[in-house]
Amino acid sequence: MTGRAIMLQGTGSDVGKSLLVAGLCRIARRRGIDAAPFKPQNMSNNAAACPGGGEIGRAQALQARAAGLQPSTDMNPLLLKPEGDRRAQVVLNGKALRSEEAAAYMANRGSLLPIVIEAFDRLRSAHDLVIVEGAGSPAEVNLRKGDIANMGFARATDVPVVLVGDIDRGGIIASLVGTRAVIDTEDAEMIAGFAINRFRGDQALFEDGVRFIEDRTGWRNFGIVPWLACAARLPAEDAVVLGQAKPKDGAILIAVPMLSRISNFDDLDPLRAEPDVEVRFIPPGQPIPREADAVILAGTKSTLADLAMLRNEGWDYDIIAAWRTGAHIVGLCGGFQMLGNRIEDADAADGLAGSMDGLGLFDMTTVMTRKKVVRPISGTTIADDDAVTGYEIHTGLSQGPALEKPFSRLEDGVLDGAVAAGGRLIGTYLHGVFASDAFRSRWLEKLRSGRSSTLNYEDGVNTALDELAEGLEEALDVDALLALAR
């Protein structure tokens, strides 16, 4: 039996499609419906490793979790990982296919639609319901030819669409009515209705606005979702959220330079969830605060390019100064590579050909290779035998004396990373390590002068997903949405 499907598209990027899909997946699970998420094409450097191998966008991994499923490459068959302003790595069915200029990809992307539909059909044959997420907006008419992410996919698979708009950013009426005005008739006929996200205030004051949208578009309103506080406790996929964190008085200060190709920054979410920890993302043009208790270099899609940026910003001097004055330093994946003596990438395997000196805190050299490691993995820390669970997504092989004092022993016996100065300097290829409560608590205890953490991060994410589902049940006509699926 083939499962039914419904698709959420948006009036733009970052209108909340990803979290609404996650919430609907959790609602389906709570109702006993076997649902799975799907996104035809995603563009993000925040990727998740799948148990069967391969990588997908982390938003789809969260949606899978909400549905009670393990992530699968079928959930996001096409992932674009930006390597520069006009170039991205194309990941197809979980495997890196090639790096391509934007113009070349746009000219040929239509040829990938059959592969995308094959993945969708596999999901639909295995589940009762598939909840599809679009990308960007169907109103980008300059991108309509060859589209496989929005209406091109919806029409090819005959999946009904609900259009999501974000009222918090303003212009919601123009966004919804304007979308109807610019798309062609056949595309408009795929849209069954709309939903309004992130509403603050008295909804009664917006009733005339809803009627206006309905009259001008012919679409029905499936509901108005209020601003849900639980959404802030869930991992975000887009870097646009990094500068939105509010300062916390008297908190431990962890500084994170905002590298131009920063990736997998949700590695920091468990730290951001701690009530007495402020994770401050430092934008270009600003120094790393001298009062920072720790500096974390996150992962990056283009290590050499971001190392050059780090030097141009003067952050290399800031990090060395922080190290010399007692701050803790952590490098995650590409950030770990930057902490070594040198990085060499003769074949542009990681986005930029060349070589460059690192910060020299670890005595090691990293050589980039075409071989890419993608896998979920667990292990234990060498120093304290704390269990750590996460995933690897990286190219490059690091070698040198620093690795004689590894950070962890993985479940397959492989030694990972490096540690120095009694744990004040840590480097690891393991993404997600701070989600391991025992390790995070012990690391923060050193910064807190002996006070440990009581936060259970994974339980917190599950609680937030349940709260999201409850909020959507109240705000949306979920029965009508589910009945719409076909």
Please identify which of the residues 127, 328, 394, 431 carries the catalytic annotation: 431
**Is 323 in a helix, a strand, or coil?**
helix
Q: Residue 220 belongs to what H/E stretch?
A: strand 220-226
Half-sphere exposure of 411 (CA within 13 A, CB side): 12
Rounded CA-CA distance 25/405 in Å is 43
Beta bridge partners of 426: 330, 419
Contacts by residues 291-294 (CB-CB < 8 Å, ≥ 24 positions apart): 291/253, 292/253, 292/254, 292/255, 292/322, 292/327, 293/252, 293/253, 293/254, 293/327, 293/328, 293/447, 294/252, 294/253, 294/254, 294/255, 294/327, 294/328, 294/329, 294/330, 294/447
Give the residue among 233, 223, 241 at the shortest CA–CA distance from 8.
223
Tokens of 431: 């993404």
DSSP 218: -
How many C-beta atoms lie closer than 10 Å to residue 271's C-beta? 23
**Is 35 in a helix, a strand, or coil?**
strand
Rounded CA-CA distance 426/424 in Å is 7
Q: Residue 166 belongs to what H/E stretch?
A: strand 161-166
**Is 465 in a helix, a strand, or coil?**
helix
The bridge status of strand 328-332 relative to strand 299-300 is unpaired
Tokens of 168: 């918090």
CA 424 to chain centre: 28
Beta strand extents in 364-470 (DSSP E only): 365-381, 387-399, 408-410, 415-416, 418-420, 425-428
Rounding to the nearest 10 degrees, give the CA dihedral for residues 6, 217, 135, 48: -40
Q: Is 25 considered catalytic here? A: no
Give the residue among 460, 418, 430, 453 at the shortest CA–CA distance from 252.
453
Please identify which of the residues 25, 50, 333, 394 carries the catalytic annotation: 333
Q: Is 333 considered catalytic here? A: yes
Rounded CA-CA distance 198/305 in Å is 36
Any idea which residues carry the catalytic annotation? 333, 431
